[in-house]
Amino acid sequence: MHQQSVPITRLQREYRLKPLEFSSPQKENIQRIVSRYPESADYNSNSGKYQTNLSLPALPPLKKMNKIEQTISIYKGKANRLPSIQFTSSEQQLQRKKQIQEIDGMRKSITPEKRLGKRNSLLFAMRTKAGCQPNKATKINQDAAIVCPKNVESVGYKLFAVCDGHGLNGHMVSNQIKQQLPKHLGRLLKDAENIENQIQKAFTITNRELWNSEIDTNLSGSTTVSLLITKDIIYSANVGDSRAIMCRFDDGWKVVPLSRDHKPDDSEEKKKILEAGGRVEQQKGLLLIKLIDLYGNPIGPFRVWLSYIQAPGLAMSRSLGDKVGAQAGVTAEPEIKQYTITGQDHFIVVASDGVWEYLSNEEVMSIVIPYLEKDNPEQAAERIIIEATQAWRRNSLARDDITCIVIFLQK
């Protein structure tokens, strides 16, 4: 009996299809091609296989590129002509924040930054220079100087201040203080009766803004020494170990300190820290063993620590920012003092710890005196930077940031 052939469906063809033996770079694709075009294949019932005469097109010969630059040197126009990208408002804020941080992160002063000015009876100049690491690599300058901002001048005061940042984000903290503190002082001092209370309030608001900002201030902060000058009165407000001095000639040259360094081993400062539950100790090495020199003396400055952990290790008892330090008794409260300018007072120096680390008050005064007769605070500030740099070179492999403001009190 003649057996009728049963047509093979496409599904059966695909199911029974086996890989074809082709010597071709496209071998793995042949099965897919045949299944897609079944009419081009014939089924052999004896072998149980499909036979096909498919001929794959030959690949064009590839041109060998000797230099990869040939493949990218296509565009001949101006650089950066990329299509504009539309961001949402939130993305724009993130982009703006990133740009600010990148610019802020590049605050490296290989050569000293300069500022010169004159206001009525004051002639002043500012200099700042970035420090360096032990390998002589220039670091980010974490100092910031405030010199006669208009929003404070408009209410009858001249503001001079130096902020010395520390920690990973110290440069951001000092810059934030530079921007915000004058703004709050200008607003609060307008028609104010109790000047000291308004100064205190301005520092408190600035510190609160730092804590609530996007800057991580857990282990980052800044000192701030500031002088508000109006007519013959100086209001000094200090947080930390930056310093301001006034130099007077009265039967010889004398230094009048306008601020007090806030160090953890100071008796008054230490008492406040201990009452807050913090510790005041020098830094310890491995296994919490005290570090000592060849003579058995402890090494390094006294620092502020939490009672239960070796942190934050601040070498000052007052600071803006420093959330962790605040838990150990570090405060942002400024120490405010009032001074009267007399006829014997000739100039003022406001500077960061980079100046005072190896130069005494009297040495800084002696540096400035020769430039007083020349009415040249610019050269005086320049000389302080030079002398401080040389002092660091004599005493240390590294160098801290150095910032100073020299103010001549003209009569």
134 in the same domain as 44: no
Residue 270 belongs to domain spanning? 112-409
124 in the same domain as 19: no
Nearest to 323 by CA among 333, 312, 337: 312
278 in the same domain as 159: yes
177: in domain: yes
pLDDT given at position 56:
47
302 in the same domain as 230: yes
Helix 195-212 / helix 170-188 crossing angle, nearest 10 deg: 140
Percentage of the residues of the chain whose pLDDT score is greater than 90: 62
340: in domain: yes
* Overall size of the chain counted in residues: 411
d(CA 223, CA 162): 8
Distances from the Cα of 252 to the Cαs of 197, 249, 375, in angstroms? 36, 5, 20
37: in domain: yes
165 in the same domain as 27: no
Average pLDDT, rounded, for the chain = 80
**pLDDT classification of 297: cutoffs 50, 70, 90:** low
69: in domain: no
**Tokens 């496209």 identify what position?**
26
264 in the same domain as 119: yes
Taking each continuous run of H as one helix and of E as one strand, the counts in the chain are 11, 17
- Tens digit of each residue's pLDDT (9 = 90 or more) over 32-49: 444 444 444 454 555 555
The residue-averaged pLDDT of 346-363 equals 98
Q: Of 87-101, 121-135, 268-282, 303-317, give the lowest mean pLDDT range.
A: 87-101
248: in domain: yes
The residue-averaged pLDDT of 308-323 equals 96
102: in domain: no
154: in domain: yes
- Tens digit of each residue's pLDDT (9 = 90 or more) over 160-217: 999 999 999 999 999 999 999 999 999 999 988 899 999 999 999 999 999 999 999 9
387: in domain: yes
22 in the same domain as 164: no
Q: Domain count of the chain? A: 2
142 in the same domain as 253: yes
191 in the same domain as 324: yes
pLDDT at 8 over 60: no
337 in the same domain as 240: yes
pLDDT given at position 196:
96
Q: Look up the CATH number of the domain holding residue 334.
A: 3.60.40.10
**pLDDT classification of 28: cutoffs 50, 70, 90:** very low
